[in-house]
């Protein structure tokens, strides 16, 4: 039985119609090539057409590389550099192209640009942003974005957009996370800016239950994810119910099928009562602790 195709939306100003679920390739960081290949088959089954990886995601770029010979035109391909200086970022961008076995990627992103000192370095003279701009001028990348985690990242992204006209942003967004009133206010302000400038908004941590409560971890995610399909449905549908945002999938290949299944059945956003019941029953907490 063929899976239901996942909805597509315009990915900002890029001209690409991306599936509302973008595959977060952190899930491929420590898997075998055979496991990665089975994941690709699943993506093709659901019609997923956007992969988001990073130089720091273990072997993820290496696992994606073999797919590109046959499927490069199928996917909008994004990666990230965590380096802050021009020289090191330039080196890492070229390394990513080699590992991905491609001549160019669609989107390069400044990864986890949160700390003010790192921001000053990356965005200043001789910084990583200059390497990204150079790569764009050379045809090695088409678009430039910025990503980050933490309670201050929405405000920091607005600062980044004030300095440079980024094509995309990436940050946490879930029902639980948005209960932080300060973060919610910053997120709404960022979203308004992005809508006005047609900047793509990618969200992460949609199915986070909270930090791991024990030292024994059964998933490859650094946070504890929801596991039950009904719970995942609610969390995923809540995010997708917000117009103009994309959901980056979970960093575990064994939970990923449930997220894609949920996305393929999205019709409407759950009510606040449904989400409040979920957070209470699953003892969900914010990652901003």
How many domains, in total, are found in the chain? 1
φ, ψ (nearest 5 deg) of residue 206: -65, -35
What is the bridge-based pairing of β-strands 168-172 and 200-204? parallel
Q: Is residue 3 one of the residues assigned to a domain? A: no
Q: Is residue 286 one of the residues assigned to a domain? A: no
- Whole-angstrom CA distances from 16 to 135, 264, 285 are 20, 19, 35
Answer whether 200's CB lies under 8 Å from 12's CB. yes
Burial class (CB in 10 A: 0-12, 13-18, 19+), 106: buried
Burial class (CB in 10 A: 0-12, 13-18, 19+), 41: exposed
Q: Is residue 128 one of the residues assigned to a domain? A: yes
Cα angle value 171/42/229 (rounded, 5°): 65
Please identify which residue in the block is written with the tokens 């089975």.
Answer: 38
Check residue 220 and give its pLDDT.
60
Answer whether 243's CB lies under 8 Å from 196's CB. no
pTM, rounded to two decimals: 0.96
| 3-state SS string for 76-109 | EEEEEECCCEHHHHHHHHHHHHHHHCCCCEEEEE
Interaxial angle between packed helices 153-163 and 181-197, expressed in degrees from 0 to 180 and rounded to the nearest 10: 30
Check residue 22 and give its pLDDT.
97
State whether residue 177 is helix, strand or coil: helix
- H helix intervals, 168-287: 181-197, 229-240, 256-264, 272-281
Check residue 219 and give its pLDDT.
73
Check residue 222 and give its pLDDT.
63
Per-residue pLDDT of the chain (289 residues; tens, 9 = 90+): 578 999 999 999 999 999 999 999 999 999 999 999 999 999 999 999 999 999 999 999 999 999 999 999 999 999 999 999 999 999 999 999 999 999 999 999 999 999 999 999 999 999 999 999 999 999 999 999 999 999 999 999 999 999 999 999 999 999 999 999 999 999 999 999 999 999 999 999 999 997 877 666 767 666 789 999 999 999 999 999 999 999 999 989 999 999 999 999 999 999 999 999 999 999 898 887 5
Check residue 214 and give its pLDDT.
65
Cα angle value 116/105/258 (rounded, 5°): 85
Domain range for residue 87? Answer: 8-281
Check residue 287 and give its pLDDT.
81
Q: Is residue 287 one of the residues assigned to a domain? A: no
Q: Is residue 253 one of the residues assigned to a domain? A: yes
Q: Is residue 133 one of the residues assigned to a domain? A: yes
Structure tokens at 98: 């080699």
Residue 216, Cβ neighbours under 10 Å: how many?
6
Q: Is residue 185 one of the residues assigned to a domain? A: yes
- H helix intervals, 31-165: 33-46, 60-71, 86-100, 116-123, 128-137, 153-163
- Report the CATH number at residue 118: 3.20.20.100
Q: Is residue 208 one of the residues assigned to a domain? A: yes
């Amino acid at each position: 039985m063929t899976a239901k195709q996942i909805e597509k939306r315009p990915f900002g100003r890029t001209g690409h119609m991306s599936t509302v679920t973008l595959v977060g390739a952190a899930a491929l960081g420590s898997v075998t090539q055979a496991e990665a290949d089975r994941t690709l088959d699943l993506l093709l089954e659901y019609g997923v057409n956007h992969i988001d990886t990073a130089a720091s995601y273990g072997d993820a770029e290496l696992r994606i590389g073999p797919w590109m010979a046959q499927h490069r035109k199928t996917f909008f391909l994004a990666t990230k550099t965590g380096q802050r200086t021009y020289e090191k970022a330039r080196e890492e961008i070229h390394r990513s192209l080699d590992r991905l076995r491609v001549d160019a990627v669609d989107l390069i992103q400044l990864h986890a640009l949160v700390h003010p000192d790192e921001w000053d370095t990356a965005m200043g003279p001789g910084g990583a942003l200059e390497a990204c701009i150079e790569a764009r001028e050379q045809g090695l990348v088409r678009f430039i974005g910025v990503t980050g985690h933490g309670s201050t990242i929405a405000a920091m992204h607005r600062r980044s957009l004030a300095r440079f006209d980024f094509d995309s942003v990436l940050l946490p967004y879930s029902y639980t996370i948005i209960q932080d009133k300060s973060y919610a206010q910053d997120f709404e302000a960022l979203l308004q800016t992005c809508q006005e400038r047609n900047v793509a908004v990618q969200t992460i941590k949609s199915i986070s239950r909270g930090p791991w409560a024990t030292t024994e971890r059964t998933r490859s995610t650094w946070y504890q994810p929801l596991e039950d399909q009904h719970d995942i449905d609610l969390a995923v549908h809540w995010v997708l119910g917000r117009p103009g945002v994309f959901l980056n999938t979970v960093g575990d290949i064994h939970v990923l099928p449930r997220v894609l299944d949920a996305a393929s059945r999205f019709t409407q956003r759950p009510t606040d009562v449904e989400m409040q019941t979920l957070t209470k029953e699953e003892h969900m907490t914010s990652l901003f602790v």
